[in-house]
Amino acid sequence: MQKGTISVSTENIFPIIKQFLYSDQEIFLRELVSNATDATSKLKTYAAKGELKGEIGDTTIEILINEEDKTLTIRDKGIGMTEEEVMKYLNQVAFSSAQEFLETYKNESSIIGHFGLGFYSAFMVAEKVEVVTKSYKEGSEGVTWTCTGNTEFILDKNDKSERGTDIILHISEDSVEYLEKARIQGLLDKYCKFLPVEIKFGTKTEYITEGEGDDAEQKEIEVENIINNPNPAWKKKPNELTDEDYKSFYNELYPFSSPPLFWIHLNIDFPFNLTGILYFPKVSNTLEVQKNKIQLYSNQVYVTDDVKEIVPEFLTLLHGVIDSPDIPLNVSRSYLQSDKNVKKITSHITKKVADKLKELFKKEREDFEQKWDDIGVFVKYGIVSDEKFAERAKNFTLLKDVDGGYFTVEEYKEKIKELQTDKHDKQISLYTNAPQDHDSFIQAAKGRGYSVLEMNTVLDNHFMQKLESSGENLTFVRVDSDTVDNLVQKDETSESVLSEKEEESVKTLFTELVTEAGATVSTKAMSPEDQPIVITRPEFMRRMMEMQAMQGMGMGNFPDSYNVVVNTNNPLVADKLLKLEGEEKTNLAKYLIDLAKLNQNMLKGADLTAFINKSLAFVKN
């Protein structure tokens, strides 16, 4: 037996590790299982090169809990260590055996650790750590290294007969949660689900059917609980996978989720190494609940689901996996470090996503259109937030009209060119964000031969502004923002059937009845078939209010501005109203205003009740 002192630059290394090096205490299990995976991967590399005598045998990693002894053990059957290697690798903090191995066998094996500090994360949860190990090398003796969380250690011989390493953690009183089976199972599922070596954690119950027909019965059996998939879909080549394989893997990542719409398989080896699968889910209008579903791995070791440094903001709506050894991580592999490689990877992922969408649109347009309602928010998010994506997306971005037709921007401009170009040669795109609420306006517009778009996603205000400012010669106007015959702003005007005096009388009457702040009254000679009263809302003011509301700022100090337009050519105004006197005249005018408010969902509470009662009275009379 020998005693010694761990070679570190300061005796305070353990408090530093325990408090500052790792962002989450639970990371220790990921680090230790990753080390066990490294040891096993090295063994397989040696075996493949003919440097291992005998059969490689079982290489399963085991996780063992002993509640009575208060120990948690990580056991591997990898290369193990000689006494000299223990002295070298466990007693010199940050001198990584993985790094040395990479220098020797680079391009031949995928080794997870690079820093040599992962092992010491054990002291975040353990008051004592034992390393019981035996090297694969012929003639090696087993050795046990013991340390109680200070710079002193004990190294002794042991009688271990099989190669490999047991890391035995004597769990400290403040970390007893790591002796709970459910807690360890949860951590293994989170961090080790796709490590490249099988990991066993106890047993699990499975049910098998024995017998046939009426004699069939279910039998309960205990089987090994292998917690990981060592060969996940993203590590395979696309031509090895079917659509069902991709869907099955999606279900493995997100159990009980709706199937994805489609996916992109990333398989890049130059100018950096990156693999992964990005899935397009159905994107709802509630963007926030969609985010943080992309998992970042480094050589199949889970790192984080906060990938905003490597994936553009709009791509965080996607689901799936990205795995790259070239992504720079901090020393604890807990978060990304920004550098030029990250920018290259970000740009490449954006291009691959845009290329996939473009390919789907060109090859299967009908199917693409059917999926547009589910992916439109995602594409629009990309357009308003990423210039490079916006440039690539302009040829597959679709506009949808209220009749269910889909058009690219160029196709739509051609469609409305003849009827919806104003006197300034600006093309006017009419839209609605609430087709049911705006039905009368929509029908009136369609009656003029106008097309009306459906723009009802949370991003459409920003999306329309982006198109308006991108040189497309388009202006978006909500279908209820002006009278239908004035939406395109031609010089065409109708002649009023009323005299100037009668028009002034009508305007005065309605002005006396419309007393809300921000409301104005005007008269206009429209078609006799148009509504007697039309309430419109200024486009600019309405957009400002809606954008402020979307940003959580409320409606600000803007008044509820609207314009009451009296159609002087409608028979109810031109004939009936002008023939009435006194209270009857006032009541009809008030009723026509309420009808217009009802059409705009502006009639609420007591005013709505009074309107219903008045309508019932009209029917009775």
pLDDT band at 102 (very low <50, low <70, confident <90, very high): very low
The answer, yes or no, to whether residue 280 has pLDDT greater than 80, is yes
Q: Are residues 161 and 257 in the same domain?
A: no
pLDDT band at 332 (very low <50, low <70, confident <90, very high): very low
Give residue 187's pLDDT: 95
Q: Are residues 272 and 148 in the same domain?
A: no
Give residue 185's pLDDT: 96
Tokens of 330: 């901090």
The answer, yes or no, to whether residue 301 has pLDDT greater than 60, is yes
In terms of residue numbers, what domain contains 402?
397-486
- Owner of token pair 């050519």: 569
CATH of the domain at 608: 1.20.120.790
Give residue 133's pLDDT: 96
Tokens of 83: 């006494």
**Amino acid occupying residue 302:** Y
The answer, yes or no, to whether residue 104 has pLDDT greater than 80, is no
Q: Are residues 53 and 195 in the same domain?
A: yes
The answer, yes or no, to whether residue 202 has pLDDT greater than 50, is yes
Give residue 328's pLDDT: 62
Does residue 440 lie within any of the structural domains? yes
Query: How far does CA 362 lie from the centroid of its chain?
Result: 25
Query: How far does CA 22 lie from the centroid of its chain?
Result: 26
Distance CA 261, CA 248 (A): 13
- Sheet of 474-478: strands edge to edge? 452-454, 427-432, 474-478
Q: Are residues 352 and 267 in the same domain?
A: yes
CATH of the domain at 406: 3.40.50
The answer, yes or no, to whether residue 446 has pLDDT greater than 60, is yes
Distance CA 128, CA 171 (A): 7
Question: Mean of the pLDDT values across residues 261-290?
Answer: 81
Q: Are residues 64 and 151 in the same domain?
A: yes
Q: Which is higher by pLDDT, 438 or 199?
A: 199
Distance CA 117, CA 92 (A): 10
Q: Which is higher by pLDDT, 227 or 578?
A: 227
Does residue 583 lie within any of the structural domains? yes
Report the first-to-last Cα separation within the chain, whole angstroms.
Answer: 110
Least confident of 60-64, 129-133, 463-467, 513-517: 513-517
Which residue among 351, 367, 383 closes a domain?
A: 367
Give residue 339's pLDDT: 56
Question: Mean of the pLDDT values across residues 409-427?
Answer: 91
Distance CA 167, CA 133 (A): 8
Does residue 136 lie within any of the structural domains? yes
The answer, yes or no, to whether residue 581 has pLDDT greater than 70, is yes
User: Mean pLDDT for the chain?
Assistant: 83
Q: Are residues 307 and 180 in the same domain?
A: no
Question: Mean of the pLDDT values across residues 478-488?
Answer: 77
Q: Are residues 574 and 516 in the same domain?
A: yes
Query: Angle 27-48/97-105 helices, nearest 10 degrees?
Result: 30
Alpha helices in 7-105 (DSSP H): 13-16, 27-48, 83-89, 97-105
What percent of the chain stands above pLDDT 90?
41
Does residue 390 lie within any of the structural domains? no
Does residue 126 lie within any of the structural domains? yes
The answer, yes or no, to whether residue 91 has pLDDT greater than 50, is yes
Q: Are the C-beta atoms of residues 427 and 473 closer than 8 Å to each other? A: yes
Q: Which is higher by pLDDT, 490 or 296?
A: 296
Does residue 379 lie within any of the structural domains? no
Give residue 341's pLDDT: 66
Distance CA 118, CA 136 (A): 22
Give residue 123's pLDDT: 87
The answer, yes or no, to whether residue 56 has pLDDT greater than 70, is yes
CATH of the domain at 328: 3.30.230.80
Helical (H) or strand (E) element with 504: helix 500-513
Q: Are residues 480 and 507 in the same domain?
A: no
pLDDT band at 70 (very low <50, low <70, confident <90, very high): very high
Q: Where are the beta strands (DSSP E) in 401-505?
A: 406-408, 427-432, 452-454, 474-478
Give residue 303's pLDDT: 85
Q: Are residues 50 and 178 in the same domain?
A: yes
Helical (H) or strand (E) element with 358: helix 340-363
pTM beyond 0.85: no
**Amino acid occupying residue 21:** L
Does residue 289 lie within any of the structural domains? yes
CATH of the domain at 157: 3.30.565.10
Q: Are residues 328 and 464 in the same domain?
A: no
**Amino acid occupying residue 112:** I
Distance CA 31, CA 302 (A): 10
Which residue among 446, 463, 486 closes a domain?
A: 486
Does residue 438 lie within any of the structural domains? yes
Q: Are the C-beta atoms of residues 310 and 296 closer than 8 Å to each other? A: yes
Least confident of 243-252, 342-351, 363-372: 342-351
The answer, yes or no, to whether residue 317 has pLDDT greater than 80, is yes
| Overall domain count for the chain | 4
Which residue among 347, 367, 387 closes a domain?
A: 367
Q: Are residues 170 and 275 in the same domain?
A: no
Q: Are the C-beta atoms of residues 583 and 540 closer than 8 Å to each other? A: no
Summarised one tens digit per residue, pLDDT across range 523-572 is 888 888 888 988 887 777 777 766 666 555 554 444 567 888 898 889 99
Q: Are residues 345 and 435 in the same domain?
A: no
The answer, yes or no, to whether residue 466 has pLDDT greater than 60, is yes
Distance CA 201, CA 220 (A): 19
Longest dimension (CA), the chain: 117
Compute the half-sphere exposure of residue 214: CA atoms within 13 Å on the CB side of its CA.
0
Which residues are CB-neighbours of 528 under 8 A, at least 6 positions away? 569, 570, 571, 574
Tokens of 160: 């271990």
